[in-house]
Amino acid sequence: MKIRLDHVVKTFETFRAVRDVSLEIESGELVALLGPSGSGKTTILRMVAGLEYSDGGHIYFGDQDATDIPVRDRGVGFVFQHYALFPHMTVAQNIAFGMKVSKVKREKAAIDARVTDLLRLVRLEGLGDRFPAQISGGQRQRVALARALAVDPKVLLLDEPFGALDANVRRDLRRWLREIHSELGITTLFVTHDQEEALDLADRVVILKDGQIVQQGTPEEVCRDPQSAFVMKFLGDANVIAAEVRDGKAYASGAAIEVAGLADGKAELYARPADLDWSLQGPGIPASITRVLDRPDGRRVLATAETGEHLEFDVEPERVVKAGDGGFVTLRRAKVFAV
């Protein structure tokens, strides 16, 4: 089911949580809403679900205007950050809840069979008789997903689904959700503040700031071509270096890089740790190393430029560098934004 948001607005008291957001999600697509807290991502998700009503604009499910359809008739599956499992029901009863309360009457045997299928899908066979308090956090979230899928939703909505879990479980569940999505092909929208999660999981990432969409695209598009300093900074570590643009080139104390389509004047140069390198000869930004952090996959070097800027970059594990060394930080690539 294709979802379309058309100039959606939401205000809480005086706080404008969502300002004029328009967004299209294709049928079967897996889309991440990514943004810092307060960016309106959860509010957008809750409006799509019908758990909040928008103050303006429309939400379409396919060709149908769903803006005013209450949540219980909207046909969405919603997965909450803290699972929201019914604590007094067993895992199987939780999964069966939606089928039992549905207006469509089902045979008990059909419900039981469906519960068994779903337990297999979320790999929790044999745990149907447990209560939510008796299973782990990762298992609970899988039960929550099975419960949401049981009613054959048109759309699956997940609110920070892995936010309450620890890092290893989170990585496993991420891969597993991706598998389930390709198996079922259900249109899925999920909210996260974790860039890695959004980039790993989604077909398309929608980046939000202050209730507005600042950029959207495939993970490749947003990573390789961030269109603002905010997106650049939000997606990962970045060094910020003061620069000046002259004749299609950005100059930053000894280093220079080609930029196209930027007017002459002051600018900021953004470079990922992997975009910088260390050399004993110029040209480059003269700097001295203050610390070297050893990590399993390489060495992170902290350096201070002569201009006083702190820089961080990675070198390969074999490279001999130590605190106190002087040299030049060279630019492999960088993004330049006017200030």
Partner 1 sequence: MRRNVLPGLRLSLGVTLFYVGLIVVLPLAALAFKAASLGPADYWRIVSSDRALASYQVTVLSAFGATLFNLFFGLALAWVLTRYSFPGKRLVDAMVDLPFALPTAVAGIALTALFSANGWFGSILEPLGIRVAYTPIGIMIAMCFTSLPFIVRTVQPVLEDLDPALEEAAQSLGGSDWTIFRKVILPLLTPALLAGVSLSFARSLGEFGAIIFIAGNQPMSTEITALLIFIRLEEYDYQAAAAIASVLLITAFVMLGVTNWLQARALRYTARG
**Minimum distance between the CB of residue 110 and partner 1, rounded to whole angstroms?**
16
Task: Name the residue nearer to partner 1 (CB basis): 60 or 97.
Answer: 97
What values do phi and psi take at 273, rounded to 5? -50, -35
- Residue with Cβ nearer partner 1 (162 or 234): 162
Type of residue found at 69: I
Contact residue for partner 1 among 12, 22, 62, 87 (CB under 8 A): 87
Number of amino acids touching partner 1 (CB under 8 A) = 33
Look at residues 167, 336, 147, 131 and name the one whose alpha carbon lies nearest to residue 244.
Answer: 336
Q: Decide if residue 127 touches partner 1 (CB under 8 A).
A: no
Binding residue for partner 1, selected from 151, 164, 262, 302, defined by CB under 8 A:
151
How many angstroms from the chain centroid is the CA of residue 267?
28
Binding mask 47-86 for partner 1 (x = CB under 8 A): --xxx------------------xxxxx-xxx-x-x-xxx
Distance, C-alpha 39 to centroid of its chain: 12
Q: Candidates 113-121, 128-136, 183-191, 280-288 — which segment interacts with partner 1 by CB under 8 A?
A: 128-136
C-beta of 52 vs 275, nearer to partner 1: 52
Question: What x-and-dash track marks residues 185-224 binding partner 1 by CB under 8 A?
Answer: ----------------------------------------
Taking the complex as a whole, how short is the minimal distance between the CB of residue 33 and partner 1, in angstroms? 18
Regarding 88 and contact with partner 1 (CB under 8 A), the answer is yes
Q: How far apart are CA 197 and CA 200, in angstroms?
A: 5
Write the DSSP string, 197-230.
Answer: HHHHH-SEEEEEETTEEEEEE-HHHHHH---SHH
Evaluate whether 40 touches 208 at the Cβ level (below 8 Å): yes
Q: What's the distance, CA 228 to chain centroid?
A: 17
Q: Is residue 280 a contact residue for partner 1 (CB under 8 A)?
A: no
- H helix intervals, the chain: 41-49, 71-74, 91-101, 108-121, 137-149, 167-184, 195-201, 219-224, 229-235
Tokens 């066979």 correspond to what residue? Answer: 125
Q: Is 12 in the site for partner 1 (CB under 8 A)?
A: no
Q: Which of 4, 114, 142, 147 binds partner 1 (CB under 8 A)?
A: 147
Q: Does 321 bind partner 1 (CB under 8 A)?
A: no
d(CA 168, CA 178) in angstroms, rounded, equals 16
Please give the residue ranges that form the binding site for partner 1 (CB under 8 A).
49-51, 70-74, 76-78, 80, 82, 84-89, 97-98, 101-103, 131-134, 144, 147-148, 150-151
